[in-house]
Amino acid sequence: MKIKLELFGASRDFSDKDHLEFNLKHKASIDDLRNEIIKYIDQKFQGNENFIKVIKSSAFCSEDNEIISDNYKITKDQKIGIIPPIGGG
């Protein structure tokens, strides 16, 4: 399945575009997607620890703009957003 990962906040540093694309097996979970993103960071950014922290602490949202858990099953080609935590002060 083709997943278009929409990038928000700090995750925009992962690409020159506003999204990344991944091919996942049918019924992959958000946890599987998270692991694929980490593999991408390992390859493209030599395992940038700050980027990996962003991925591990981010929430994900569905096409319906609902927060989805790590065990959510992806059953079709779709857009999924990665929502990093927002720091402030």
* DSSP-assigned letter for residue 84: -
pLDDT for position 87: 66
Q: What is the pLDDT of residues 29-59, one digit of tens each?
A: 999 999 999 999 999 999 999 999 999 999 9
> Residue 88 falls within a domain, yes or no?
no
Provide the whole-model pTM: 0.92
pLDDT for position 78: 95
**Average pLDDT for 4-25:** 96
> Residue 89 falls within a domain, yes or no?
no
Collapsing DSSP to helix, strand or coil, 5 comes out as strand
In the predicted model, is pLDDT for residue 89 greater than 50?
no
Domain that residue 22 falls in: 2-83
What would you measure as the largest C-alpha separation in the chain, in angstroms? 41
Structural domain total, the chain: 1
State the CATH number of the domain containing residue 57.
3.10.20.30
**Average pLDDT for 6-12:** 95
> Residue 39 falls within a domain, yes or no?
yes
